[in-house]
Amino acid sequence: MSNPDIGIDLGTANIVMTSGKKGVVLSEPSVIAYNKCTERILAVGTEAYKMIGRNPAYIEVVRPMAEGVISDDILTQCMIREFLLKICGHQLVKPRIIICVPAFITDLQKRAVGDAVMSAGCRKAYLIDEPIASMLGAGVNIGKARGHMVVDIGGGTTDVAIVSMNGIVTSHSVKCAGSQIDRAIIKYMMNRYKLIIGEQTAEHIKKTFTNLYDPREDVTMFVKGRNILRGLPDQIEINEMELFDAMEDVIFGIMEAIKKVLEETPPELVGDIQENGILLTGGGALLGGLRELIHRTLNVNCVLARDTMHCAAKGTGLAFQKINHLLDGFEGVTIYKYR
């Protein structure tokens, strides 16, 4: 491969990479496992994810990103380097990289992301605001003087932004997203049924059983775990209504974030958004009944982005075609040339 251009969406839960015309070439959990004694990297991505909750004491399994920002610099660098090696191999030409960053992060945090990709091995790095990347990835024409709203529900944060003329008009971020929902389900099982379940079980329940629009009491599923009182394996039956109750506070937080941004948006743009609808991206956008719930609560249509979990990464890939145009007049806002 010559002169590779790599687009990266470095998320709290998942890292997605695109390469030139090939599109998405990697999509794996942002997890890294290493030996605590020798400090050797043992696994990254899917392989490391499988070790969560099953690791012996000498192995540490870490998510080096937390709530959209880097929480451990060294491990993030190592993780990106391992993934780049996976898709580029040991080639002579180092790639150019466009990586998206949440709209709310500080310059210092942006620097940390830039440093991480530079030291992981690339020729040039550009940072792009994630809402812009998501819009590009979803095929929205954001160059015009028209307002578009994107709600990205990821692993650690929900990021809401209004975009017009290739820039961000307003944005807001809340720590109400996928992992908070998982934790809320774990807490509910514990309080209501004295049942201890793991993170992966909670995530599985969320993905397969959520009904936010019209939850019913007569639709049920079995959940396996350990009874805290007896200390033995146990199984209980929950219904959709109970799951809704467990998740309600987090969902309310997401709704409030959308409402807040709509309230702060200039009236002309609100009109545009009513016409265009809200673009939903990120893994959390797949929550059962969410689209319908937002429409019922806020009276605005929602559109689920195609291939929602890869949308921002696809946008970073497409941004290479527009790199001069995006840099022109928007430096520091849209694409930020790192080095």
Task: Give the interface with Mg ion as residue ranges (CB under 5 A).
Answer: 11, 154
> Among 120, 212, 251, 309, which residue sits at the site for ligand ADP (rule: CB under 6 A)?
309
d(CA 95, CA 89): 11
Residue type at 120?
A: A
Q: Which of 147, 282, 315, 317 binds ligand ADP (CB under 6 A)?
A: 282
Residue 203 binds which of Mg ion, ligand ADP, none (CB < 5-8 A, kind-dependent) = ligand ADP
CB of 72 to ligand ADP, least distance (A): 16
Q: Pseudo-torsion of CA 105, 108, 114, 119, nearest 10°?
A: -140
Work out which of 5, 8, 14, 336 binds ligand ADP, going by CB under 6 A: 14
| Nearest to ligand ADP of 11, 147 (CB atom) | 11
| 63: nearest Cα among 98, 34, 102, 24 | 34
Decide whether 95 or 283 has the Cβ nearer to Mg ion.
283
12 forms part of the interface with ligand ADP (CB under 6 A): yes
Tell me which amino acid residue 266 is.
P
Asked whether 312 and 133 are in contact (CB, 8 A), the reply is yes
Q: Give dist(CA 145, CA 204) in Å, integer.
A: 41
Smaller CB separation from ligand ADP, 78 or 247: 247
- Are the CB atoms for 12 and 176 separated by under 8 Å? no
Judged by beta carbon distances under 5 to 8 A according to partner kind, the member of Mg ion, ligand ADP, none in contact with residue 13 is ligand ADP
Nearer to ligand ADP, 129 or 203 (CB): 203
User: Could you tell me where the DSSP H helices lie in 89-139?
Assistant: 107-121, 130-137
CA distance 306 to 221: 29
What residues from 83 to 102 belong to the interface with ligand ADP (CB under 6 A)?
none
Amino acid letter, residue 267: P
Q: Which of residues 102-141 bind ligand ADP (CB under 6 A)?
A: none
Site string for ligand ADP, 157-186 (x = CB under 6 A): ---------------------xx-------
**d(C-alpha 36, C-alpha 42), whole Å:** 10
- The span from the CA of 114 to the CA of 98, in Å, is 10
Footprint of ligand ADP on this chain (CB under 6 A)? 11-14, 154-156, 178-179, 203, 206-207, 282-284, 286-287, 309
